[in-house]
Structure 1
Amino acid sequence: MRDIFGNPFRPVVFSPYWRTDTAVSLARQMYESRDFSAMPILADALQDAGCDNDDVLSHCRAPGEHVRGCWVVDLVLGRE
């Protein structure tokens, strides 16, 4: 459930500056292919874009399964 909804007690403010071409391309590829193995790479791309939000970066780097509807991927793609 946390993969889709995140933490309802700690909403994330997602900066549009974090939506770089690289981050959007990675997120789109994962969403379309349903292969989320590049989540740690997405974390690196977001961090390179200036993201310092621990919830976002930790979620991307956390072990475990990610699914279509992942809240971070949706934020990157603007599917809020």
Structure 2
Amino acid sequence: MFQRDFTATWPGRGYMGDITCLPLENGEFLCPATVLDCFSRKAVGWSIADHLRTGLVADALRMAASISIAR
């Protein structure tokens, strides 16, 4: 468990993420989900949708996993 320690000694050792929902002028929403590598703080996965359903986060995690495997 992280216990709020978001550091890592090498890339791919730990990830952190965030989702949010941003209101647009037309009354709709833009919802980005991101996954960051705790070592480099670089985005390793992301997804954007108009909803906060599970698929939004799953897509970002899938991208992060595929990048992690490619290393």
**TM-score, normalised by the number of residues in structure 2:** 0.29
Q: TM-score, normalised by structure 1?
A: 0.27
Structure number, greater radius of gyration: 2
The structure carrying a bigger strand percent of its residues is 2
Tell which has more relative contact order, 1 or 2 (C-alpha 8 A, sep 6+): 1
Higher helix content, 1 or 2: 1
